[in-house]
Amino acid sequence: MPAILVLTATSPDKPGLIDLLSTTLAAHGANWQQSRMATLGGQFAGLLQASVPEKELAALESALEGLRREGLTVTIAAEPVRVPALGLRRVKLEMTGQDRPGIIKEIAHALATRGVSIDELESTCASASWSGEVMFKVTAELSVPAGVATEQLCAVLENLGNELMVDIAIEEEGLTSSP
């Protein structure tokens, strides 16, 4: 049975980083399964899930550690065994508003205190075409427990949106709502 690894890779951005990482994985029979990679502020950051034959695990870990000589830092975490959670539903959250510090903190806190998990989060800042103000946009995929009703989540997000002066919308399997 192959080992499942979750890797985090960081480096000052330069050509060839993904080639270096993928070549190292392939040399040890590892299979690149899922990834998210980006360059932010001149820094490369990647998150990757791979499977590797158990007999190659120690050699792969050593080879990935050796990538530091190339300027690529790779942190390895064995994927935790995930027991399928019963009663969770997927909800998409979109938020747009004028940028200011603390928006993510407020949203994350409001969701976490209700047992809602943020499975994916993407954020961007861009100039508003009509005013030139910096607008902050968040898109997130959430896992919401069965005990948190859609109406309850909408009410929480509506209050939060009013406090933060942002527009928040949620979408749940065929249901679209702007709190």
- Residue 115 shares a structural domain with residue 157: yes
- Residue 52 shares a structural domain with residue 100: no
Let me know if residue 48 belongs to a domain. Answer: yes
Q: Quick one: pLDDT band at residue 176, thresholds 50, 70, 90?
A: very low
- 105-120, pLDDT tens digit by residue? 999 999 999 999 999 9
For 18, the domain range is 3-78
- 45-93, pLDDT tens digit by residue? 999 999 999 999 999 999 999 999 999 999 999 665 555 567 889 999 9
pTM of the model: 0.74
pLDDT at 2 (0 to 100): 86
Distance of CA 2 to the CA centre of its chain: 24
Buried b (16+ CB within 10 A) or exposed e, 119-135: eeeeeeeeeeeeeeeeb
Distance CA 140, CA 120 (A): 5
Domain boundary among 55, 78, 101: 78
Q: CATH number of the domain that 36 lies in?
A: 3.30.70.260
- Residue 33 shares a structural domain with residue 105: no
What number is the average pLDDT over the span 33-37? Answer: 94
- Residue 109 shares a structural domain with residue 69: no
**Total number of domains in the chain:** 2
CA distances from 153 to 31, 44, 107, 144, 172 (A): 38, 35, 12, 9, 11
- Residue 58 shares a structural domain with residue 135: no
pLDDT at 72 (0 to 100): 97
Share of the chain above pLDDT 90, in %: 64
Distance CA 118, CA 108 (A): 8
Let me know if residue 83 belongs to a domain. Answer: no
- Residue 64 shares a structural domain with residue 99: no
In the block, residue with structure tokens 């009509």 = 130
